[in-house]
Structure 1
Amino acid sequence: MASHFTMRIMLAACLLLPAALLAQSPAPAPAPTLKAGVFEPPREAPDFTLPGTTGADVSMRDWRGKVVVLGFGFTHCPEVCPITLGTLAAARRQLGAQADEVQVLWITVDPERDDAARLGAYVTAFDKSFVGATGSEEQLAAVRRDYGIAAAKVQREGQSDSYSHSAFTYLIDREGRLRALMPYGHPPEDFVHDLRILLAVP
């Protein structure tokens, strides 16, 4: 029969073994981080209903189950808007088959000139899947207020009116929650990186 001393040694070894095994197990991989600025905690994206370039009204809830990239701009924009839309079109191409799970929505800040037909022709020139939304100045001002978007008309002598406006884009997850804000100037690869992370969440 083992002595009491030997039994105590065996018991101590049994207690230490699980801890040793846990210490040898690889640590869980850190959760991937977004390149865009994140909302912690995520919050529900404000909903709206606006005349869309699809020929019908559009709302945020129309795309539940997809990841939405939401941007604001106007068709007469000389530089920022076409660069952003071109970047999003390139990102969508890089996503491959996953692109069908992403919806780009572009809301005008210039309702005087951007009716649904003009806006639709503009955004689909970058990618056929892109959808635009317009409306009255009052409707659009309410949406901008809800999303914290600044926009102001800029008049220059001898030139057509322009707008100074917020140039970031929102990333909204499948459940309609604001997850991130991507500043202007990021390359397509950064959008692809973040979109793949959001697409991986059921």
Structure 2
Amino acid sequence: MKPALKRVVLGAALLLAAAVQAAPALKSGSFSPPRAAPEIALTSADGRDFRLSALRGKVVVLEFGFTHCPAVCPASLAMLAQARQKLGPQAERLQVVFISVDPERDTAARLKRYLAQFDKSFIGLTGTPEQMAAIRKDYGITATRFPAPAGQDGYQMGHSSYLYFIDKKGMLRALMPFGRPADEMVHDVNLLAAE
């Protein structure tokens, strides 16, 4: 290779490397490589047919939880509602889907009322115990029933509390642990929506 051509090729390679390093990164843990998000097909809490694949073109955030949750689920949902507010007019690029890990108590009506307290755009999903167990298995979510603390009726659920990010093409891209701030959610949604 001629020296002048060699310098041009080397310069182009260095510019490309710098551009790749300068690209902003997700705040959440990334799936590397990304993989297709398993399909979810149920009736949503508002009575409509739901297919995860029908949300292509939007960034989807899945939260697994239950309506009797005393602390973690409401905190996550409040953070997601705050993130939607911070997105302003760009909030339409985000769809939050809340998937019950407690289908025995989380009826469609209860789920709809519960989610409306946070953001009316949130989609709630519940189904038979078998349907919900299959979805949890597809996403690697654990859920365990245990007795309620002394003096309380019923039971509680211990479950994985990650938020799954699915990009506009239906690929699993990131996993955000519980307790992250809304600004990090906004950052990651904007990044994925701009792709």
Query: Common fold, TM-score beyond 0.5?
Result: yes
- Report the AA paired with residue 40 of structure 2: F
Are residue 197 (structure 1) and residue 191 (structure 2) matched? yes
Q: Partner residue of 1:158?
A: 151
CA distance in 2, matches of 1:133, 1:86: 18
Deviation at 1:57, TM superposition (A): 2.5
Are residue 15 (structure 1) and residue 8 (structure 2) matched? no
CA distance in 1, matches of 2:36, 2:24: 22
Q: Partner residue of 2:115?
A: 123
CA distance in 2, matches of 1:150, 1:15: 59
The Cα offsets for residues 55-111 of structure 1, whole Å up to 9 and x where unpaired, read as 112121121111000010011100000000000000011011110011000001111
TM-score, normalised via structure 2 length? 0.89
Show structure 2 runs of 5+ residues with no match.
none
What is the number of equivalent residue pairs in this alignment? 187
User: Which of 65, 69, 82 is equivalent to 2:74?
Assistant: 82
Q: Which runs of 4 or more aligned residues in structure 1 lie more than 2 Å from their structure 2 counterparts after TM superposition?
A: 25-29
CA distance in 1, matches of 2:36, 2:68: 31
Partners of 1:66 and 1:174 within 8 A in 2: yes
SS at match of 1:54: coil
Q: Partner residue of 1:100?
A: 92
- Report the AA paired with residue 109 of structure 1: V
Are residue 53 (structure 1) and residue 36 (structure 2) matched? no
SS at match of 1:43: strand
Deviation at 1:50, TM superposition (A): 1.6
Are residue 174 (structure 1) and residue 163 (structure 2) matched? no
SS at match of 1:47: coil
CA distance in 2, matches of 1:99, 1:78: 27
CA distance in 2, matches of 1:162, 1:66: 33
Show structure 1 runs of 5+ residues with no match.
1-11
The root-mean-square deviation of aligned C-alpha atoms, in Å, is 2.1
Deviation at 1:54, TM superposition (A): 2.5
The Cα offsets for residues 100-154 of structure 1, whole Å up to 9 and x where unpaired, read as 0110000011111111111011112101110100000000000000000000111
User: Which of 59, 63, 68 is equivalent to 1:67?
Assistant: 59
SS at match of 2:141: coil
SS at match of 2:69: coil
Are residue 30 (structure 1) and residue 19 (structure 2) matched? no
- Report the AA paired with residue 15 of structure 1: A
User: Which of 73, 82, 91 is equivalent to 2:83?
Assistant: 91
Largest Rg, 1 or 2: 1
